[in-house]
Amino acid sequence: MSAPGSTGYPGRVTQFSSDAPARAHAFTLSSADDGLAALGAWREYPRVQQPVWPDETARAKVFDDLRAAPPLVFAGEVDVLRDRVAAAARGEAFLLAGGDCAETFADSTADRIRNKIRTILQMSAVLTYGASLPVVKMGRMAGQFAKPRSADEETRDGQTLPTYRGDAVNEFDFTPESRIPDPARLWRTYTTSASTLNLLRAFTGGGFADLREVHSWNRGFTSGAGYDRYEELAGQIDKAVRFMDAIGADFESLKVVEFYASHEALLLDYEEALSRIDSRTGEIYGCSGHFLWVGERTRQLDGAHVDFMARLRNPIGVKLGPDASVDDALRLIDRLDPEREPGRLTFITRMGAGKIRDRLPALVEGVRDSGAQVAWVTDPMHGNTITSSNGYKTRRFEDILDEVVGFFEVHQGLGTVPAGLHMELTGDDVTEVLGGSGEIDEEGLTRRYETLVDPRLNHQQSLELAFLVAEMLSRR
Query: Annotated binding site for phosphoenolpyruvate: which residue ranges?
Result: 140, 296-297, 319, 350
3-state secondary structure of 29: strand
Distance between the two ends of the chain, CA-based, in angstroms?
A: 20
Cβ(325)–Cβ(349) below 8 Å: no
DSSP single-letter state for residue 425? B
Q: Show the DSSP H helices in 165-251 as ranges.
A: 184-205, 211-222, 231-246
d(CA 23, CA 385): 43
Q: What one-character DSSP code corresponds to residue 448?
A: S
SS3 278: strand
Rounded Cα distance between 146 and 154, Å, is: 17
- The binding site for Mn(2+) comprises 101, 382, 424, 454
CA distance 39 to 25: 23
Residue set of the binding site: 101, 140, 296-297, 319, 350, 382, 424, 454
Whether residue 266 contacts residue 295, with contact meaning beta carbons closer than 8 Å, is answered with: yes
CA nearest neighbour of 462 among 139, 61, 31: 139
- The answer to whether 345 touches 377, Cβ cutoff 8 Å, is no
Contact predicate 253/19, CB 8 Å? no
> Nearest 10 degrees: CA dihedral of 318, 10, 196, 427?
80
Distance CA 254, CA 133 (A): 15
Element (H, E) at 364: helix 356-370
DSSP-based three-state secondary structure for 98: strand
